[in-house]
């Protein structure tokens, strides 16, 4: 039976300084999973041009985000820590032998190696690894599997099981729907805005776009069953570089709704914890674009973060999945 759970989150700069942001960009954009094996000269461009130029500008955004969030640290780090601790607390009542830890792929600590070392010292051997990404993808769940498997070579006594992608799981789906209903005034148009990826990835077999489409179809069905008048849209945000990306783009959808003087409720189902993309790119940049274009009101559903009900239900779901996988 499992005796440890490792939650893995993408990562974040350790703080809002340009040096920390540059370190994070070098690690994140330098990982081959992130951009899908970029050309051979990419690392040179990243190290000498892209990261040094991008870091100071991004650091200003991070600083504004940290100030507005009022949490005293990076929101992604804060909520991941709180969520992991809450799951550990919940499981300790019935499964005291299960050790729960979290780790980040890039930027900050604890690293994946840090967490695996802690398990090894505590003589925990049956590790369930849960990437905190609802949708499966090369850049999320596959990256976690590869990075954890690589780090685990230093700890051969550990046995790893991966729980990858939960966008079709009713626990997650219902948690998202409850958040939507709790924040919706029943008048605003609802926009489910997923993180974007290059269109070519789907053609090459990446399941991300299919997971997004299936999740949206479920959300749309359940909302309309309860509120037939609801206006519901699906879109994708945060493009990077050139080439064709998944669409329609969130900025375009919001532009059309703004011209109709609509009120909007935005949902970001690609993330379990709020981060720069939700708290700045969406809450500040997209909101400002929407209002300037004539939109009336802009609201966003917070990510699940450290929501106690979500943590409790998801903790028990991990146990259920673990027990089903027993030989």
Query: Model pTM greater than 0.85?
Result: yes
Q: What is the CATH number of the domain that holds 21?
A: 3.40.50.1400
Range of the domain at 311: 4-165+307-324
> Does the pLDDT of residue 251 top 90, yes or no?
yes
154 and 64 in a common domain: yes
> Could you give the number of structural domains in the chain?
2
Residue 324 has pLDDT above 90, yes or no: no
Round to whole Å and give the CA distance between 83 and 260.
39
Q: What pLDDT, on the 0 to 100 scale, is given for residue 1?
A: 79
Both 184 and 289 in a single domain?
yes
Q: Note the pLDDT of residue 42.
A: 87
Structure tokens at 49: 């041009």
Dist. CA 267–CA 256, nearest whole Å: 17
Q: Tell me, what's the pLDDT at 35?
A: 78
Please report the pLDDT score of residue 192 as a whole number: 98
296 shares a domain with 320: no
Q: Over range 191-201, report the average pLDDT.
A: 94
Pseudo-torsion of CA 275, 277, 278, 280, nearest 10°?
Answer: 100
Q: What is the pLDDT of residue 121?
A: 98
- Per the CB < 8 A criterion, the answer to whether 322 and 128 are in contact is yes
109-123, 174-188, 241-255, range with the lowest pLDDT: 241-255
Rounded average pLDDT over 142-163: 97
Residue 326 pLDDT > 70: no
Q: How confident is the model at residue 325 (pLDDT cuts 50, 70, 90)?
A: confident
**Burial class (CB within 10 angstroms; exposed 0-12, middle 13-18, buried 19+) of 97:** exposed
Q: Does 130 share its domain with 67?
A: yes
């Amino acid at each position: 039976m499992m005796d440890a759970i490792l939650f893995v989150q993408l990562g974040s700069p350790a703080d809002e300084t340009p040096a920390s942001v540059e370190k994070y960009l070098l690690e994140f954009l330098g990982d081959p999973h992130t951009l899908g094996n970029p050309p051979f000269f990419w690392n040179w461009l990243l190290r000498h041009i892209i990261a040094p130029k991008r870091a100071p500008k991004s650091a200003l955004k991070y600083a504004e985000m940290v100030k507005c969030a009022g949490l005293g640290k990076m929101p992604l780090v804060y909520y991941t820590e709180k969520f992991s601790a809450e799951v550990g607390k919940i499981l300790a009542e019935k499964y005291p032998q299960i050790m729960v830890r979290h780790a980040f792929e890039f930027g900050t600590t604890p690293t994946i190696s840090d967490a695996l070392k802690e398990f090894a010292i505590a003589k925990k051997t049956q590790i369930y690894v849960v990437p905190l990404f609802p949708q499966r993808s090369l850049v999320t769940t596959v990256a976690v599997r590869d990075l954890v498997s690589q780090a685990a070579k230093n700890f051969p006594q550990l046995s790893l099981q991966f729980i990858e992608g939960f966008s079709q799981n009713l626990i997650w789906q219902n948690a998202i729907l409850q958040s939507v209903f709790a924040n919706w005034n029943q008048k605003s148009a609802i926009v489910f805005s997923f993180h974007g990826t290059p269109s070519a990835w789907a053609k090459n077999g990446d399941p991300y776009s299919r997971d997004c489409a299936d999740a949206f179809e479920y959300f749309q069905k359940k909302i309309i069953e309860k509120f037939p008048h609801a206006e519901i849209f699906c879109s994708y945000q945060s493009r990077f570089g050139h080439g064709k990306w998944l669409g329609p783009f969130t900025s375009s959808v919001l532009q059309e709704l703004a011209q109709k003087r609509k009120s909007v409720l935005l949902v970001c189902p690609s993330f379990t914890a709020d981060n720069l993309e939700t708290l700045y790119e969406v809450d500040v940049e997209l909101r400002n674009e929407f209002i300037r274009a004539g939109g009336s009101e802009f609201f966003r559903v917070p990510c699940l973060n450290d929501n106690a009900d979500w943590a409790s239900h998801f903790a028990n779901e991990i146990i259920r999945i673990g027990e089903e996988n027993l030989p």
